[in-house]
Structure 1
Amino acid sequence: MTPVVVTSGGAVRGLLEDGLAVFRGIPYAAPPVDDLRWRRAQSHPGWTDVRDATRYGPSAPQPYLPGGASPILGEHGSPPFDEDCLTLNVWTPGLDGANRPVLVWIHGGGFTTGSGSIPYYAGDTFARNGNLVVVTINYRLGAFGYLHGMVPGHSNLWLSDQAAALNWIAENAAAFGGDPNAITLMGQSGGGFSIGALAQHPTAAQQFHRAIVQSAPLGLDLPTPEEAAERTDAVAVLLGHADCRGLAGEPTARLVEGTVAALGRFAEFGTWNLAFSPVLDDLMSVPPRDALADPRVELLIGWTEDEGTFPFATDPRYDTATADDVVAVFGKRHQDPGLVYRRYADALGDDPRAVLSAECGDRLFKAPARDLLIRRAGTGNTYAYEFALDAVAFAGALGATHCLELPFTFANPEKWAAAPFLAGLDPDTLRSLGTRMHRSWISFVRNGKPETGSLHWPASDGTTVMVLDADSKVATVRTSPV
């Protein structure tokens, strides 16, 4: 029988797939087009007929190259793309009022790419294996979500989208067999950063109580509103305008070109390049790392051992980087750059690319996460991991790179078959470590503890972390050389 659910916007018709009821492309906010472009998410007016929810909605507009823009990850957002992109997808084991825990996935992608509608992030494994209601969301990216100052009072549009989605989920979870009082957010990279933003949002903060934060760049230096507005004007200039007012009537494709131009224009040697960054405002008044220190939210947080290889390991510009080149980069962010280089080189060997990668991974990801463990010590509801399985691809240059834990988290490596960074990994390890991690994530969603029958995982005391590898073990947090 075709599943139909009456939501706050109207009735939707989904599909039955392998024992799950699946609904795709449900609008959670008004299309951000015409007068609503560059305005915070608005309520959807609803619909009267039963709406087809059997196909994914369009992904947010973003740079796209067939086969993938990333030599490591491959594709991360696939067409069709449309500014009318504020939709979500639901997988549920039953429309039966069973009050299942709800898991909400927020994708990453450098605030520029990604989609909740790509096969990588399908919610079927978590729904089926964990008896969970799983929701994935699309939200505005790049110039459409992060330009600041286009409309006064409307900043952090991406965050307004996510908050609107969370509000919709809380309102409608019960209709899909979920418990609106048992919502866990899970996000990786920019999605993990988003959770720290939602944890302080005026309304969203009250709508979830658990969070899984994977490889979040909590060490980002966030621009002031003035700095963010200057970036907006600079993008306008790149597209041939005097200032941001000229962007108002630009078509979708030109604004994507503006995102690509910003990626090139503001790229700096030795940095993890971003076209745009979130900005501190009334929705996000403190850095997300500070909001995540609130012990109200039960937290599972972690990183990969070699986060920083992702932007540098396969980039030929770094093949000939010298120690002096890297010291010059460090001079922009450390008081004694030579000392920083020497300490990393003492630990890793005098390999400039390795030193740069390690410092980048520590500064953006690992150090702020380790600081959170210390700040939350004694809460008893904080769990930490380090994903340490090395990739085989690219002659081992990646190590345990950024994003590598994702196929294991979702326990769906077959859907990542085209991702270059998985090439050559032992299938048995893929399956066994994926099963172990996937079950731990489900346990945390259901019980607030990632411990399973086969894996003893104690709460972190501020100095302990679960190292996830072919064999997993509790270990002392490894600190950075500086």
Structure 2
Amino acid sequence: MTTQQNIGTHSFHTPFGKILALKENGVIKAKSIRYARSERYKMPVPVETVESEEILDKTPVCPQNISPLLERLIGKTDLEKFQPDESTQFLTITRPENFSQNEKLPVVVWIHGGSYEIGCGDLPTSDPSVWVKEQNMMVISVSYRLGLFGFLGGDENRPANLGLFDIMEALRWIQKNIQSFGGDPENITLFGQSSGGDAIAHLMISEGVDNLFHRAIIHSAPLGFRLKRNKMSLEFFRKTEFLKDETDPLKMTEGYVNFLPSFRKYGLKTSMPFCTQYGYPPLCTEEESQEKWKENAKKYDVLMGLNHDETAFYVKTAEQGIYTYLHEKILNRIVRVTTDSIYEKPANMFAENYSEGGGNIYLFKIHSTIKNNYIGASHCFDLPLIFANETAWKSSELLKDVPWQYMVENGKKLRALWAEFARKGKISDDSERPEILRLRKV
């Protein structure tokens, strides 16, 4: 236990067992609770009791390759703080330090992004402490299997969508245990960005999720990549067959990279080689998906949207490749076209379809209003607004031309609106909007 004055410990007594948590700077964090276990390419098996009362020194993370692009976009990864674990079913609960025993806090479940390939739930850049304290709510960050381990399958020996099944298992754990932490099991909102948002959209049409959550906040989901993937996925599945019995999981993650250039023939979607797969449990077929969202529209309140310049960081800061020598006007045009096709048009189509099914859905777009911000509101620009951890974001190239005070002023208003939605499933016309936000009910 750390001896600094503002750090202590707290014990939660739950049906799951005694869980030790850290008290720090006004929040309590129960870190890296194991909710399930899995063998390679097998379904997750729920863990019934606490396996260890110790607080882990290192954060468990699914084996993965470091992305140089994301390291520039967000910041360097301190590998010393992470422990690769193939069975990476862990969650972290963050709640306010001051609470009464009978309190029922709204629960937001964070599903991280990273192209279904990298990341984990518990990163400094997605630390929800500020949001939790400001809005008196609870945030649960979920880690799940990624890449070859969780999102590439094709037969009974290597099933598809195992990462989705992991998230579903986490939601069952939350339903069963969250009351002991002061959370309200009747008020659970899933919140995801990028592939995390895509995962949530697909959980909304998955078998076996009834009553596990009530609302969805979906940021920057690349729904333009979800269609016509079967051929590419099958080719990727076959080419990686030789890796399935590799004993070293890190060698597996290094091994598949060699095949990625051969998928360029499939177009832009090859930038996200892993994804949810239609026609395999728990999902319907691709052809049935639109109708399924419409059918389920009355089950979940949805807040969905994107950043105005989603693809700008990738296009305008490329260190090599096709974009490097193009004029800025042409680059801006490429950003508009790609943002539109991957994010905006699919979000609009989703919202219209959902609304036609009688669903309660809001659409938003985040803009940068800073004149000399070359990349504008690019992919991930929304994250420091919600997860206001200045220390974690200060070296991010994404915010190079953005004063932190700008993020503070806009972020506080945005966090209040999103918390309002998580509590009630709606946003009042009278609630204050930040200048960067365009929001409408569909």
User: What is the TM-score when the length of structure 2 is the normalising length?
Assistant: 0.86
8 Å contact 2:243–2:252 — kept in the other structure?
no
Q: Report deviation, 1:454.
A: 4.8
**Residues 2-49 of structure 1 deviation map (CA, whole Å, 9 limit, x = unaligned):** 42224454322112122322100100101x3xxx1011211225346x
8 Å contact 1:39–1:151 — kept in the other structure?
no
User: Is residue 91 of structure 2 the alignment partner of residue 88 of structure 1?
Assistant: yes
8 Å contact 1:29–1:86 — kept in the other structure?
yes
Q: Report deviation, 1:429.
A: 1.6
Are the structure 2 counterparts of residues 476 and 270 from structure 1 closer, same or farther at C-alpha, using a change threshold of 3 Å? farther
Distance 1:105 1:438 in 2: 14
Determine helix, strand or coil for the equivalent of 1:3.
strand
5 Å-filtered alignment, 1:73-472, equals 73-75=74-76, 78=79, 79-93=82-96, 94=99, 96-149=101-154, 151-152=156-157, 154-222=159-227, 228-234=233-239, 236=240, 244=241, 247-267=244-264, 271=268, 273-280=271-278, 281-286=280-285, 291-293=292-294, 294-315=297-318, 316-319=320-323, 351-377=329-355, 379=358, 381-389=360-368, 396-451=373-428, 454-455=431-432, 469-470=435-436, 472=437
Are the structure 2 counterparts of residues 55 and 180 from structure 1 closer, same or farther at C-alpha, using a change threshold of 3 Å? farther
Comparing 107-116 with 443-452, greater Cα deviation is found at: 443-452
Determine helix, strand or coil for the equivalent of 1:187.
strand
Distance 1:82 1:367 in 2: 37
Distance 1:440 1:455 in 2: 8
One-letter amino acid of the counterpart of residue 315, structure 2? F
Q: Report deviation, 1:169.
A: 0.8
User: Is residue 25 of structure 2 the alignment partner of residue 18 of structure 1?
Assistant: yes
8 Å contact 1:99–1:178 — kept in the other structure?
yes
8 Å contact 1:102–1:132 — kept in the other structure?
yes
Are the structure 2 counterparts of residues 390 and 138 from structure 1 closer, same or farther at C-alpha, using a change threshold of 3 Å? farther
8 Å contact 2:110–2:191 — kept in the other structure?
yes
Distance 1:4 1:474 in 2: 41
Q: Report deviation, 1:278.
A: 1.9
User: Is residue 59 of structure 2 the alignment partner of residue 53 of structure 1?
Assistant: no
8 Å contact 1:150–1:245 — kept in the other structure?
no
Between Structure 1 and Structure 2, which shows a larger proportion of strand residues? 2
Give % identity. 27
Q: Report deviation, 1:53.
A: 3.4
Determine helix, strand or coil for the equivalent of 1:204.
coil
Distance 1:91 1:452 in 2: 29
8 Å contact 2:368–2:376 — kept in the other structure?
yes
User: What is the TM-score when the length of structure 1 is the normalising length?
Assistant: 0.79
Distance 1:428 1:402 in 2: 20
**Residues 153-172 of structure 1 deviation map (CA, whole Å, 9 limit, x = unaligned):** 73211101111111111111
One-letter amino acid of the counterpart of residue 145, structure 1? G
Comparing 127-136 with 367-376, greater Cα deviation is found at: 367-376
Comparing 282-291 with 19-28, greater Cα deviation is found at: 282-291
Q: Report deviation, 1:95.
A: 7.1
8 Å contact 1:68–1:76 — kept in the other structure?
no
Comparing 127-136 with 70-79, greater Cα deviation is found at: 70-79
CA RMSD of aligned residues (A): 3.0
One-letter amino acid of the counterpart of residue 256, structure 1? T
Q: Report deviation, 1:188.
A: 0.4
8 Å contact 2:41–2:158 — kept in the other structure?
no
Are the structure 2 counterparts of residues 156 and 270 from structure 1 closer, same or farther at C-alpha, using a change threshold of 3 Å? closer
Are the structure 2 counterparts of residues 271 and 469 from structure 1 closer, same or farther at C-alpha, using a change threshold of 3 Å? farther
**Residues 41-60 of structure 1 deviation map (CA, whole Å, 9 limit, x = unaligned):** 11225346x61236553111
User: Is residue 39 of structure 2 the alignment partner of residue 41 of structure 1?
Assistant: no
Moved over 6 A (4+): none
**What residue ranges of structure 1 are gaps of 5+ in the alignment?**
237-243, 323-348, 457-467, 478-482
Q: Report deviation, 1:134.
A: 1.1
Greater relative contact order (CA < 8 Å, ≥ 6 in sequence):
2
Determine helix, strand or coil for the equivalent of 1:58.
strand
8 Å contact 2:128–2:139 — kept in the other structure?
yes
Are the structure 2 counterparts of residues 146 and 473 from structure 1 closer, same or farther at C-alpha, using a change threshold of 3 Å? closer
Q: Report deviation, 1:61.
A: 1.1
Determine helix, strand or coil for the equivalent of 1:171.
helix
Are the structure 2 counterparts of residues 76 and 193 from structure 1 closer, same or farther at C-alpha, using a change threshold of 3 Å? farther
Are the structure 2 counterparts of residues 76 and 210 from structure 1 closer, same or farther at C-alpha, using a change threshold of 3 Å? farther
One-letter amino acid of the counterpart of residue 137, structure 2? L
8 Å contact 1:197–1:291 — kept in the other structure?
no
